[in-house]
Amino acid sequence: MLWAGYFEARNRMWWTGLAGDAFVGRRMIANEMDGHNNRIGALIGAKAGSFSEIEPAVRDAVAGGCVSAGDAGQITWLPASKWRNGKFW
């Protein structure tokens, strides 16, 4: 049981950025951006009257987004200089 508590604490520290420099800088900012945009997506889904309304609403939200948006209801993304190479994009 002691080990379970150790691993849980270690994982919480890792994911909250308290374990060294693992999430300092670009990755922490990217995670915050993802959380921000995911909350907007969840609201879009919750407000949709049907599944077919979701895609156009998401498209409109993304079209209205910008780099480092300050509005809590606006999609945001990092400046291109902060992007990482990924497997899928």
pLDDT at 28 over 90: no
pLDDT of 79: 87
pLDDT of 32: 86
pLDDT of 70: 86
What is the C-alpha to C-alpha distance for residues 44 and 31, in angstroms, rounded to an integer?
20
Surface-to-core class of residue 70, CB atoms within 10 Å of its CB (0-12 exposed, 13-18 middle, 19+ buried):
exposed
pTM of the model: 0.64
pLDDT at 9 over 60: no
Among 66, 88, 86, residue whose Cα is nearest residue 75: 66
How many other C-beta atoms can be found within 10 angstroms of the C-beta atom of residue 11? 11
**66: part of which helix (H) or strand (E)?**
strand 66-67
